[in-house]
Homo-oligomer: A and B are copies of this chain.
């Protein structure tokens, strides 16, 4: 299989954008006509995918919302995976991470069994907790680096005695893990901290970046597009979830979702000519 970066480049070229549609499906917010359960959530996600597949470079369901649906949730997740067309990347936002043999089980679940293209993983436990996610060709493990929530200041932006902040060490260290592995290492870098985003790109010039926080969380899209592309001019996914999924609660929800997606991709086009 082609490396993840190559496939990402293709998806960006196809859509002239780097939109990742976050499938944060909330049963309480779904439009009328969908039952607030696992089958309803799967049907809603499929409708969103069908309405946006030519605009989306990637889809990113967050496992939390599927797990909240009970045992039917995983079935719904698998159905959503199956509904994503081959030309779009499928990023499982699961933020997994554990000691070696346990991370191996997670990797087998998401890459081996579900054929996800990428997975978000947690860095706290260090290299041996991430390594098992790097043994699947064509995939990417997006390591949490700098997140868009206010409490990122608790630990992520703490200064280290050796110099630099924790998230900078995570970036520098994590990219080395992917240098000789089958899978790639990417970074999750929040859009709400533009000054950091630019610095982060300098530390990791080639790695794919997954950037949440544009839209409902307030990050500025132009700044992200200017500062976060990689050295080859691609290597970037910008995520939007709620602004697209819940653009309308009415029968026009697919049109409204498409309109919001189109709005984002329009802003992206000048950056990917």
Contacts and interface: CB of A to CB of B under 8 A. Distances in A.
Interface of A: 24, 26, 62, 64-65, 67-68, 70-71, 73-75, 77-78, 93, 95-103, 105-106, 108-110, 112-113, 122-129, 144, 147-156, 158-162, 166, 169-170, 173
Given A64-B105, A159-B160, A160-B161, 19 more contacts: A67-B109, A68-B108, A70-B78, A70-B113, A71-B75, A95-B98, A99-B147, A123-B154, A123-B155, A124-B155, A125-B144, A126-B149, A126-B150, A126-B156, A127-B151, A129-B149, A155-B166, A158-B166, A166-B166
A124 B124 contact: yes
Top 8 A-B pairs, shortest CB-CB distance: A126-B151, A126-B154, A159-B161, A64-B105, A67-B109, A68-B105, A128-B151, A71-B74
A148 B106 CA distance: 18
Contacts of A147: 99, 124-125
Nearest to A97: B95
